[in-house]
Structure 1
């Protein structure tokens, strides 16, 4: 089972019930009274388990199962037991999820490095650090999961897999023509491979390398094995994605969209021991789908594809950015990527519309419904590469057609309906625009942020992202959009909202858990994800971002879902949202390749900002 397995029955609960107040906190005067609680009851303090930077925003969330009011909180030095900061809890946010009352505990003005915990009434938080290095090495850590997802040769297993891929379908060549499309990344805990997610992941890795120089180390070779090769590991990983994309676009008029299909869903097994028969013998070639621009599906079900532009735009942006990066490293390779970017873009122009993934045995697929954002980013990359005004104009015109990514402000969406979950295109175009156009593009980002903030400011977690499948991916993307907006505008209005989405991923959520396997090492993180690596062999999947919580209404309507262990977070589940650290919950606890790639960009931004400055490389 994977993200595509069971996505129907999206009869959703009301999103958020909250009070209409915004918390504030201030440093206490010397005669400040001890923390007080008007009514007793079980309560918890949720903190970012990675820690907080001295100059950054520092907020925890207090939640209680009673309606008692919190007045004050204290920050305590863990080594001495001394109270070092006292703050007002501020205004109550009311009920949210499993909690009857909730507050934001803001201690931003305290900036002394050290190890601390928060105390409020009877509630005590886990210990956490305040230091400039709390994000150090986190982006590199998440790269471990990307290497583990490699197909063709898997460096984690030190063995090859899926080397016979694949045979063509829907193309201008005879069906079942054998071509070499081995390589790339497996999509999640199954072994399907999608150009849609892979091209987006590749772009994020390339952008992370470009924007945050010095963050990434060189501890692995190009094949993913340990060793150095003079290349940052993130660029090695991006190149692994690029090499697969080149195989999917071998000629100017050929573009492939997908490798394998839902016949993959035949139980847990390691990729190096994959016996699934796609009609060419067990373990043989898998089908590779040509991007025809028309509905596809080899079995009972078909998608609703209308064109090629959504996938062609993603190819264009990845190749276009790669051409820019390799222009100072390998001119021949740069030229190749540049040629591929332009030929992919022409295919998008010729067939506007969406190229959705293809189902087979079940009616589930990535239901992408937008494509102008992909073409905008592709055109922006070509403008940066060539300087041709025609690409700038086309990118701008595409941007006007989708100013805001449509999920922002909505309570629900179909699976991957609006993808990517944020649009890099506005950012890339704004960097090369005149003041008027730049302000307009910045305004598009602000409009989307405001739509989410309108919901977020009503609850203590600043949660405005809907609890649909892969909610953690949306959370990561929304944090990135906030970051890009702040870089372009210099406006700090939404800095706390940006940090709240990052904090959510690392423990400031109702369950008090990090959503990234093994990060931080000392924290409460997933231990039983929906993954063959952990289930069969207890192999760690370090750095993998799991899908994240879903609405209770979604979870209650899922098919073929069974929890295998007692729910460690039972008291924090609610009608609003559920999350289970359980192998059986493929809806909330399955790691995703593309979500992890986006997280790498986000974590790199945090590490770079905290140690080298607050602006990305222009």
Structure 2
């Protein structure tokens, strides 16, 4: 009896397993998510991807522990085909903010486990540092063994007065990409990212390791220990003012997989070649590289040393040494202006860097105090910034291997923080121009993917997310916040393959297991935290030399004519971890770990004015403007009081000086409504047809605005308490936005999409006249279709007597409707965060 029961259970289990396998094999739709998780107030979007033609009309969020549906939404943006998929869609659950573990379910398809938690990225930056430590050359704390202890012998040293084969101590640094070459340019860039990560987000890092990388505490955050490992090697690569080396070893490294201490293929025992930087083309197998100067590598040295000298002030001697190295590195950078490329002996693949002015910009932005050039260095940095305003790959959508390196212009960020006025705005706009180029490609697919699938596409993805983040930080404009989040999500599983691109992160998710690395392939060692190269265009993959998959492709059903990714050590193009990409990821993870509520703001801007607040929050600002009329004032206050709503009032100096309006102004202020400026004389700033054509001078603008605030002073309203300015006629241009900023104010305008701003019209105006019912319905319809989160809804406190149909009579109904639909009416400073 018992035997029969066991056999029956076994049969049922077998059938169940077969059914599951059949279902999996025939599955047509998937839900892709960020496997690592989402912070509570962040953008939270999953992607529906299907080989069928249908997309869901709604989806639900199910609590893992209770099995209950806790959220249902139809906030779905439908897209068409992408990669292997016929239909796709973005499932937006950003407004759900409760911490917990959930699943999304839509049309019978269930997502992987979704984690929502404010601290979901805690300690992830330290986790990625594990890969950096594992890549250490010299003493390797992971292996607890040493390697490459005989490096190295000089080649191309004639220009520096060095006889070839002369020995220089070059032991240390990091192996480059799970192979054992070492490049100065990638090491300097990686070091700068690690230093910058600690400078900008010190609380994201802990102290669990000694300087050697072994377990223990030494009173220094581990990220600074790691950065110091890079700096110490860079000093060896620049041992004297007239000597600098560009790389250690070359592609003869690639003869076979091996543990690092087994290197001996360069013809001089265990020594490896040190390539001197002479600013001239050097051997590239059958070819020559395209080196033209010394700037690209030497300038990166200068920047890393300069930032290091700022952060290691507890060790004055070390900081002083770094400052001196920074100074001599800069001099080496201007020795022969141009780019330095790497060398390859056997294969055609090199780091074909073609730009160097970005490196000069960064160096000058960081070395002014060290070189003694001061503000002149910033002027020179700005000169270089203009030479490459937008990193070329952002525009071209393609590049050779490492052609435009680093993949982000770090100099724009460092220089903008030290700049003011027009220069700062221009630097910020450089970032915006590049982001817009990518957005124009990304907005057409559900993954918001606009980064090209070239070699090391994941490195570009990290860099692009950083650029979006820095743009918002510098400008206050959150227009691209969802795009930034989409790129971050892509790295952790919200991609066609549904896999994280970081080894072991998260531990519970699908991550690389068979990367192109001797550590994993031979030693079966985990390479925790390593960011793999990422997907490449299928056309690139098919033309690469020496790639052969070693096992059936686990992601075969997700490959396409667009791009491929393989978790197979035989594919060095998509699954090889890189040291410099991982260092950039350390910065990005530290930034996300350190995000605050303010970082999640998502302001929208147009012509320099904020036109919408955070679209993740179900609140809006109702603003009223006034110049000569105030006939609706009492009805408006009464309606606001009844629904306990707050509003914002922007008045001209004419309005504030009108004795008839004084009582209302005092009442509105006492009730906690916002009172701001709308110009003094209600000037028209720009031509209606040629928006760029100004009708006022800067002096006229300033004098008029000063008069506006002077009229406000008698009501106790100052620039400090009323820092938002709404332009007269709601008509302005970028120059007006710039002048507003120079005046110490922030320019705002109404959100587009409704007819609310037409409530001043009257029948005699003809076609432009809008009835109150028409205006009301335009607001209701937009709310139904798109929502009014973050909306700035503009109305008028009074209108021309010729308008008999007053829209403020509909305000009670509008406020009630908004309240019933979950909206909170707040003041503009509450909406925009200050």
Q: Same fold (TM over 0.5)?
A: yes
1:394-449: CA deviations, max 9, x gaps?
Answer: 11100010000000032311000000000110110111111221111100000000
Q: Return the alpha-carbon distance in structure 2 between the equivalents of residues 611 and 202 of structure 1.
A: 29
Helix, strand or coil for the counterpart of 2:61? strand
Q: Return the alpha-carbon distance in structure 1 between the equivalents of residues 458 and 194 of structure 2.
A: 18
Q: Given the alignment of the two structures, is residue 356 of structure 1 paired with residue 341 of structure 2, yes or no?
A: yes
Would you say the 8 A contact 2:41–2:600 is kept in 1?
Answer: no
Q: Given the alignment of the two structures, is residue 43 of structure 1 paired with residue 25 of structure 2, yes or no?
A: no
Q: Given the alignment of the two structures, is residue 548 of structure 1 paired with residue 537 of structure 2, yes or no?
A: no
Q: Return the alpha-carbon distance in structure 2 between the equivalents of residues 65 and 520 of structure 1.
A: 27
Give the C-alpha shift of residue 88 in structure 1.
1.4
- Give me the TM-score of the superposition, normalised by structure 2: 0.67
Helix, strand or coil for the counterpart of 1:466? coil
Q: Return the alpha-carbon distance in structure 2 between the equivalents of residues 411 and 149 of structure 1.
A: 31
1:255 equivalent in structure 2? 244
Match of 1:126 among 108, 112, 118: 112
Q: Return the alpha-carbon distance in structure 1 between the equivalents of residues 566 and 27 of structure 2.
A: 25
Q: Given the alignment of the two structures, is residue 194 of structure 1 paired with residue 183 of structure 2, yes or no?
A: yes
Q: Return the alpha-carbon distance in structure 2 between the equivalents of residues 483 and 290 of structure 1.
A: 37
Would you say the 8 A contact 1:305–1:354 is kept in 2?
Answer: yes
Would you say the 8 A contact 1:262–1:362 is kept in 2?
Answer: yes
Match of 1:369 among 333, 343, 354: 354
Q: Return the alpha-carbon distance in structure 2 between the equivalents of residues 78 and 88 of structure 1.
A: 21
Match of 1:215 among 204, 226, 235: 204
Q: In terms of mean alpha carbon deviation, does 379-388 or 442-451 score higher?
A: 379-388
Q: Return the alpha-carbon distance in structure 2 between the equivalents of residues 199 and 389 of structure 1.
A: 24
Q: Return the alpha-carbon distance in structure 2 between the equivalents of residues 146 and 588 of structure 1.
A: 19
1:153 equivalent in structure 2? 139
Unpaired segments of 5 or more residues in structure 2?
A: 1-25, 602-834
Aligned residues: 572
Q: Return the alpha-carbon distance in structure 1 between the equivalents of residues 453 and 112 of structure 2.
A: 26
Q: Return the alpha-carbon distance in structure 2 between the equivalents of residues 74 and 90 of structure 1.
A: 12
Q: Return the alpha-carbon distance in structure 1 between the equivalents of residues 42 and 586 of structure 2.
A: 19
Q: Given the alignment of the two structures, is residue 345 of structure 1 paired with residue 330 of structure 2, yes or no?
A: yes
Q: Return the alpha-carbon distance in structure 1 between the equivalents of residues 404 and 459 of structure 2.
A: 12
Helix, strand or coil for the counterpart of 1:498? helix
Match of 2:192 among 199, 203, 208: 203
Give RMSD over aligned pairs. Answer: 1.5
Would you say the 8 A contact 1:133–1:611 is kept in 2?
Answer: no
1:63 equivalent in structure 2? 49
Match of 1:143 among 100, 116, 129: 129
Q: Return the alpha-carbon distance in structure 1 between the equivalents of residues 373 and 448 of structure 2.
A: 41
Distance 1:612 1:403, change over 3 A: closer
Helix, strand or coil for the counterpart of 1:467? coil
Tell me which of the two structures has the higher relative contact order, counting C-alpha pairs closer than 8 angstroms and 6 or more residues apart.
1
Q: Return the alpha-carbon distance in structure 1 between the equivalents of residues 55 and 346 of structure 2.
A: 53
Match of 2:229 among 209, 216, 240: 240
Give the C-alpha shift of residue 611 in structure 1.
8.7
Q: In terms of mean alpha carbon deviation, does 427-436 or 192-201 score higher?
A: 427-436
Helix, strand or coil for the counterpart of 1:340? helix
Q: Given the alignment of the two structures, is residue 332 of structure 1 paired with residue 320 of structure 2, yes or no?
A: no
Q: Given the alignment of the two structures, is residue 536 of structure 1 paired with residue 522 of structure 2, yes or no?
A: yes
Unpaired segments of 5 or more residues in structure 1?
A: 1-39
Q: Return the alpha-carbon distance in structure 2 between the equivalents of residues 518 and 380 of structure 1.
A: 37
Give the C-alpha shift of residue 349 in structure 1.
1.5
Match of 1:267 among 250, 253, 256: 256
Give the C-alpha shift of residue 612 in structure 1.
9.9
Q: In terms of mean alpha carbon deviation, does 96-105 or 407-416 score higher?
A: 407-416
Structure that is richer in helix per residue:
2
Match of 2:420 among 427, 434, 440: 434
1:307-357: CA deviations, max 9, x gaps?
Answer: 010001100110011111123x11221111111111111111121111000
Q: Return the alpha-carbon distance in structure 2 between the equivalents of residues 482 and 551 of structure 1.
A: 24
1:584 equivalent in structure 2? 570
1:449 equivalent in structure 2? 435
Would you say the 8 A contact 2:285–2:348 is kept in 1?
Answer: no
Helix, strand or coil for the counterpart of 1:103? strand
Give the C-alpha shift of residue 271 in structure 1.
0.6
Bigger Rg, which one: 2
Give the C-alpha shift of residue 602 in structure 1.
0.2
Match of 2:174 among 185, 188, 194: 185
Give the C-alpha shift of residue 68 in structure 1.
1.3
Would you say the 8 A contact 2:291–2:338 is kept in 1?
Answer: yes
Distance 1:140 1:100, change over 3 A: same
Moved over 6 A (4+): 611-615
Q: Return the alpha-carbon distance in structure 2 between the equivalents of residues 433 and 317 of structure 1.
A: 18
Q: In terms of mean alpha carbon deviation, does 234-243 or 75-84 score higher?
A: 75-84
Q: Given the alignment of the two structures, is residue 575 of structure 1 paired with residue 564 of structure 2, yes or no?
A: no
Q: Given the alignment of the two structures, is residue 175 of structure 1 paired with residue 161 of structure 2, yes or no?
A: no
Q: Return the alpha-carbon distance in structure 1 between the equivalents of residues 243 and 319 of structure 2.
A: 20
Q: Return the alpha-carbon distance in structure 2 between the equivalents of residues 45 and 376 of structure 1.
A: 43
1:271-293: CA deviations, max 9, x gaps?
Answer: 1222x321212xx1111001110
Give the C-alpha shift of residue 610 in structure 1.
4.7
Give the C-alpha shift of residue 614 in structure 1.
6.8
Match of 1:81 among 64, 67, 79: 67
1:278 equivalent in structure 2? 266
Helix, strand or coil for the counterpart of 1:332? helix
Give the C-alpha shift of residue 387 in structure 1.
7.2
Give the C-alpha shift of residue 71 in structure 1.
1.1
Give the C-alpha shift of residue 299 in structure 1.
4.5
1:501-544: CA deviations, max 9, x gaps?
Answer: 00000000000000000000000000010110110111000000
Q: Return the alpha-carbon distance in structure 2 between the equivalents of residues 558 and 392 of structure 1.
A: 43
Helix, strand or coil for the counterpart of 2:358? helix
Distance 1:364 1:540, change over 3 A: same
1:436-485: CA deviations, max 9, x gaps?
Answer: 21111100000000010000011000000000000000000000111111
Give the C-alpha shift of residue 613 in structure 1.
6.6
Q: Given the alignment of the two structures, is residue 520 of structure 1 paired with residue 509 of structure 2, yes or no?
A: no
Would you say the 8 A contact 1:64–1:100 is kept in 2?
Answer: yes
